[in-house]
Each structure stands twice: as C-alpha cells, then as structure tokens.
Amino acid sequence: MTDAATLFGLCAAGLVGLGVYALIVNPQPLRKILAFNVVGNGVFVLFGAVAYGGGALGWGGDPVPQALLITGIVVAFSATALAVALLLRLFDETGSATLASDAPAKPDADAGEA
C-alpha cells in the first residue's frame, strides 16, 4: 500500500514540475492555462496519495481529502473558465492572444517574453 502511495506521490511531483516549467517558459496564454491545470492535477494526485496512504491518521482511504479534492477541482475548473473567457475576449479585441504588452516593443522580440 505504501508503495502505491509512493508511486502516486512521485507522479504528483512529476506533474507539478512539468506544469510549473511550462507555466514559466511558455509565452502563449492558452498553454499557460493548460499548464496551470497540469500543476493543479499534480496537487490533486498528491492529495489522493495522502488519502490512500492514510496520512497522519493511519487509516486506509481517508475520506476527508476526497471531499476537499472535489472542491479543489471545482475551483480549478472555475479558474480555467474565467481565464479562457478573458482570453477569448482579448482575442476578439486584438485579433491575437499574447500577454506581451508592457514589454518594450523590440524589433527582435522573439519567444520567451510572455
């Protein structure tokens, strides 16, 4: 049982790492939104692993994290919806979806500036 929890924990760490990397490196807002979801899922998997391992209480299958997790998923979903709505509105206004506004417009402004 502990092994499964460890495995899930490692998966969670991997997801969080990937997501944070993408969130920082990718300049496109849509990818940032997806990356946020990857990080969020990593945290949720970790919570699942904590519940499965029983955590401090030592029960197998602690139900409290499951309840919190569902709330967390709802929050993440609302956040994604809000971000996508803003992005669509931005696209309607400007015809492009980029966050690079107050960076000084350089002729060689390439990737990396989000």
Partner 1 sequence: MTTTPGGLLLVLAVLVPFVGVLAGFALGGRNAQRVATLTILAGAGVAIAIAAAMARSGDALVYLLGGWAPPLGIALRADGLALVMMLAVAVVILGIGVYARADFGTPAAVREARAPLVFWTLLLAIWGSLNLVFVSGDLFTLYVALELLTFAAVPLVSLDGKADTLRAALRYLLYALLGSVFYLLGAVLLYGAYGTLDIQLLSQRIVPEPATLAAAALMTAGLLAKTALFPLHLWLPPAHAGAPAAASAVLSGLVIKGSWFLVVRLWFNVFPGVVNLQSAQLLAALGAGAILVGNVVALRQERLKLLVAYSTVAQIGYLFLMFPLAFGAAAGLDASDALTGGMLQAISHATAKAAMFMAAGLIYLALGHDRIAGLAGVARALPVSVLTFALAGAALMGLPPSGAYVAKKLFFDAAAGSGQWWWELVLDVGGLLTASYVVLVLAHALCPAADPIEPRKPVSRMAEGAALALALCSLLLGFVADGAISLDALSSALTLSDLWSAILLVVGGGALAAALGHRLPPLAVGDAVVALGRPLRRAMLAAGGMLAWTDGMLRQWPVAGLALIAVAIAFGAAILTGR
83: contact with partner 1 by CB under 8 A: yes
18: contact with partner 1 by CB under 8 A: no
| 63 close to 37: Cβ distance less than 8 angstroms | no
The whole-angstrom separation of Cα 9 and Cα 43 is 9
CB-nearer residue toward partner 1: 4 or 89: 89
Instruction: State the angle between helix axes of 29-53 and 63-94 in degrees (0 to 180), rounded to the nearest 10.
Output: 180
Q: Rounded to the nearest 5 degrees, what angle is found at the Cα of 29, between the Cα atoms of 41 and 72? A: 25
2: contact with partner 1 by CB under 8 A: no
Name the burial class of residue 53, with classes exposed (0-12), middle (13-18) and buried (19+) by CB atoms within 10 angstroms of its CB: buried
**Which of 102, 105, 106, 108 lies at the binding interface for partner 1 (CB under 8 A)?**
102
Reading the block at residue 73, the tokens are: 């998923």
**Which of 11, 28, 34, 55 lies at the binding interface for partner 1 (CB under 8 A)?**
55
Q: Which residues of the chain form contacts with partner 1 (CB under 8 A)?
A: 16, 20, 23-25, 27, 29, 32-33, 36, 39-40, 43, 46-47, 50, 53, 55-57, 62, 64-65, 68, 71-72, 75, 78-79, 82-83, 86-87, 89-90, 93-94, 99, 101-104, 112-114
